Amino acid sequence: MAMTEEQLSRIKKELERVYVALLEDIRNEQDANRNQQIADLLGRVAVDSADVSVADALADLNVELIDRHIQGIRDVEAARQRISDGSFGACVDCENNVGFERLLAYPTAKRCLSCQETREKMFAHKATPRL
């Protein structure tokens, strides 16, 4: 079932909201990183190896967060492309309808719930800490 213009308009507004929020998150992460670098330069004190390790872990976490936000922006752009080419709302695996409620909750979804669950089961792996 194709979406109505009103439904599509709501999805577009939600995509824009997500996009703006992701850009703001990236800016905030970058500002926090810059502020930390300035504080580090101004407050040079003797540090031990534990301090260096924590600083490295925090820097890695910051990069991971920004990378995750950038991937979110790519997902929004891909959803916008699917809207413009007419494939938005169709599951990329089975071509069935993804469903308006799912798209409203998760506007970048490209799979129906059934295909997404199958994919998650197939590619599930035991979580391993990376820090």
Instruction: Write out pLDDT tens, residues 78-88.
Output: 999 999 999 99
**Domain contains 130:** no
The pLDDT of residue 80: 97
Instruction: Write out pLDDT tens, residues 89-107.
Output: 999 999 999 999 999 999 9
Number of domains, the chain = 1
**Domain contains 128:** no
Domain that holds residue 96: 5-122
CATH of the domain at 13: 1.20.120.910
Please provide residue 120's backbone torsions phi and psi, each rounded to the nearest 5 degrees: -65, -35
**Domain contains 131:** no
| Token digits of residue 76 | 């929004």
C-alpha to C-alpha distance for 10 and 105, rounded to whole angstroms: 11
C-alpha to C-alpha distance for 85 and 14, rounded to whole angstroms: 19
C-alpha to C-alpha distance for 95 and 118, rounded to whole angstroms: 15
**Domain contains 26:** yes
**Domain contains 30:** yes
| Token digits of residue 94 | 């089975």
76 close to 108: Cβ distance less than 8 angstroms = yes
